[in-house]
């Protein structure tokens, strides 16, 4: 059953067409990766799903709800069920690990409690449990600007998990990490999708990583979907089509890695 | 490898432009000194004389010491007015900056209006604001306070808005994505992120305002500036000198205090 269904979606920034008539379906629990050159529209596609970017036309259905017509309160409610992880982690660097994780609950709280940062004992316990599972137990009261890149991304994952989301959007989650931390983060996200049955929609630069972890790969070129099939069926010729003149560099990287 | 002719032509034109600029500025300087009857050599020649005059007249003596309590009182008044203007303006600027910033503005139109108002507040000099308020409020403390307040609001609104865009944009995006409301985002992501910059800018404005308050006081007839004006015009130079000494000490004290505070915050 499809948890996310995007139909004929288009987005234009002034004179650039970022997405052009994009349609795709994601099944619940599926691990789907979007690949393509920078500027192909991957990031826009992801941000249209939780409406950080407003699409111009088309429709998005998430878990039976029409996303693009939602009003303010309903949109907030929708967003609580969609987690998001970012390339640059997007934490509040001066706050502690646990404070940043608790931010994931703001959407569920009353405005006043959220503004004042009042969290219940249960909520704090939940944050602690998630951090413990992600191996950050000893870092809980550290400020986030004192963490390594991999640790910061794990805080980002914890912030998304505390929302108890059905879908997590991952925007280049390993692009600013060293190879070792990148592998750990990918393994964590893979386990999350398998163990918690959370759907993952991810933008990725590394084709080999995409093939290794994903159930399905979507290739985007100049705002259009040019490939949408099993990860294992992706051929070099298709990668060349998706990446155009950049393909040689990508394939070389693959051989080297 | 030789430089292509097109490139050297561009370089030549740039040199020519620079030369023209230097000549223009030079001509402007000579022209304006002629127009105002200011002779640079004569001005330079009077420097030793000015210093020897200062050495004789501008030394605090017993008479000046009698004025000390009054000087201290006026100095304190000036400092307090500056602090009050800066803190009030800091609060107002924070609210305005949230409306002005690209990251947190509720609507682009709100941002444009706030930026315009802040720009007017900032670009009209504080002394000019003092003159404007002098007409409606007369010579009193409120006039000076208002002038400092308006100038500071203009300056801080812009500085704060830039601080928000620089440091909070990414975390604001993350909180919005998780369903947090606008107010929650401002309170939980924006405030903690910009707190050090906000304090640092406010301390800087406090230093600036204490200096400006002295000048504004001459106009508004209040504070240490006015006291200097009185002593100077009644040829009580030794007391005027003590005023200057007091201002210098206060400015240095405030600056070193705020530097120490900055180190603690950052």
- Each residue of A165-175: pLDDT tens digit? 999 999 999 99
Smallest Cα–Cα separation from B178: which of A25, A51, A62?
A51
pLDDT value, residue A257: 38
Mean pLDDT of B51-79: 87
- Cross-chain Cβ contact A52/B180 below 8 Å: no
Residues B247/B214, Cβ–Cβ less than 8 Å: yes
Quick check: A254 pLDDT over 90? no
Q: C-alpha dihedral over B68, B73, B74, B80, to 10 degrees?
A: 140
Rounded CA separation A92/A145 (Å): 8
Point out the least confidently predicted range of B50-64, B77-91, B189-203: B50-64
Among candidates B183, B184, B193 on the partner chain, residue whose Cβ is nearest the Cβ of A92: B193
Tell me the percentage of chain A whose pLDDT exceeds 90: 85
Q: How confident is the model at residue A54 (pLDDT cuts 50, 70, 90)?
A: very high
Write down the ipTM of this complex.
0.91
- Cross-chain Cβ contact A86/B174 below 8 Å: yes
pLDDT value, residue B37: 83
Quick check: A252 pLDDT over 60? no
Quick check: B33 pLDDT over 50? yes
Q: What is the pTM of this model?
A: 0.84
Quick check: B44 pLDDT over 90? no
Tell me the percentage of chain A whose pLDDT exceeds 70: 95
Tens of pLDDT, residue by residue over B170-224, are 999 999 999 999 999 999 999 999 999 999 999 999 999 998 999 899 988 888 9
Quick check: B233 pLDDT over 50? yes
Size of interface A-B (CB pairs under 8 A): 86
- Cross-chain Cβ contact B180/A160 below 8 Å: no
Rounded CA separation B145/B223 (Å): 11
Which chain B residues have a beta carbon less than 8 Å from that of A106? 175, 178-181, 184-185, 188
Cα of B186 to nearest chain A Cα, Å = 8
| Total Cβ atoms within 10 A of residue A22 | 23
CA distances from A248 to A148, A221, A244, B258 (A): 32, 16, 9, 56
Which chain A residues have a beta carbon less than 8 Å from that of B184? 106, 109, 111, 114-115
Positions of E strands within chain A: 2-13, 16-27, 31-35, 57-62, 65-66, 82-85, 167-171, 199-204, 216-221, 224-230
pLDDT value, residue B2: 63
Q: How confident is the model at residue B11 (pLDDT cuts 50, 70, 90)?
A: confident
- Cross-chain Cβ contact B177/A76 below 8 Å: no
Residues A118/A206, Cβ–Cβ less than 8 Å: no
Mean pLDDT of B67-87: 93
């Amino acid at each position: 059953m499809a948890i996310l269904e995007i139909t004929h979606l288009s987005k234009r920034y002034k004179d650039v067409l970022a997405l052009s008539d994009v349609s795709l379906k994601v099944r619940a629990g599926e691990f789907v990766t979007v690949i393509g050159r920078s500027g192909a529209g991957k990031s826009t596609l992801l941000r249209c799903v939780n409406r950080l970017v407003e699409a111009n036309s088309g429709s998005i259905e998430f878990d039976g709800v029409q996303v693009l017509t939602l009003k303010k309160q309903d949109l907030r409610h929708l967003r609580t069920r969609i987690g998001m992880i970012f390339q640059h982690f997007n934490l509040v660097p001066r706050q502690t690990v646990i404070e940043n994780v608790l931010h994931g609950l703001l959407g569920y709280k009353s405005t006043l409690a959220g503004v004042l940062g009042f969290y219940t004992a249960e909520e704090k316990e939940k944050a602690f449990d998630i951090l413990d599972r992600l191996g950050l137990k000893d870092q809980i009261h550290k400020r986030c600007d004192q963490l390594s890149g991999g640790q910061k991304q794990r805080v980002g994952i914890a912030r998304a998990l505390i929302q108890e989301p059905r879908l997590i959007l991952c925007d280049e989650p390993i692009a600013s990490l060293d190879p070792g931390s990148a592998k750990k983060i990918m393994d964590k996200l893979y386990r999350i999708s398998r163990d918690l049955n959370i759907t993952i929609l991810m933008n990725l630069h590394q084709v080999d990583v995409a093939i290794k972890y994903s159930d399905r790969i979507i290739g985007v070129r100049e705002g259009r979907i040019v490939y949408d099939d099993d990860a294992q069926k992706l051929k070099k010729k298709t990668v060349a089509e998706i990446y155009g003149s950049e393909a040689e560099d990508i394939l070389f990287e693959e051989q080297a890695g | 490898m030789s430089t292509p002719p097109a490139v050297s032509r561009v370089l030549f034109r740039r040199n020519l432009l620079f030369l023209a600029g230097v000549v223009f500025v030079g001509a402007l300087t000579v022209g304006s000194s002629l127009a105002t009857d200011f002779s640079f050599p004569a001005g330079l020649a009077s420097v030793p004389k000015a210093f020897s005059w200062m050495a004789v007249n501008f030394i605090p003596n017993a008479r000046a010491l009698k004025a000390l309590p009054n000087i201290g009182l006026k100095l304190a008044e000036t400092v307090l007015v500056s602090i009050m203007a800066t803190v009030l303006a800091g609060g107002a600027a924070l609210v305005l900056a949230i409306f002005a910033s690209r990251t947190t503005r509720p609507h682009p139109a709100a941002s444009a209006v706030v930026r315009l108002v802040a720009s007017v507040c900032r670009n009209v000099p504080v002394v000019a604001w003092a003159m404007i308020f002098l007409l409606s409020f007369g010579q009193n403390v409120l006039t000076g306070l208002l002038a400092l307040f308006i100038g500071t609001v203009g300056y801080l609104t812009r500085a704060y808005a830039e601080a928000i865009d620089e440091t909070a944009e990414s975390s604001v995006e993350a909180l919005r994505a998780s369903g947090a409301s606008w107010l929650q985002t401002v309170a939980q992501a924006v405030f903690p992120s910009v707190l050090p910059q906000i304090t640092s800018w406010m301390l800087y404005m406090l230093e600036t305002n204490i200096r400006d308050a002295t000048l504004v006081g001459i106009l508004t007839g209040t504070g240490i500036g006015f006291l200097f004006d009185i002593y100077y015009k009644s040829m009580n130079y030794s007391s005027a000198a003590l005023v200057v000494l007091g201002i210098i000490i206060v400015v240095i004290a405030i600056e070193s205090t705020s530097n120490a505070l900055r180190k603690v915050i950052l």
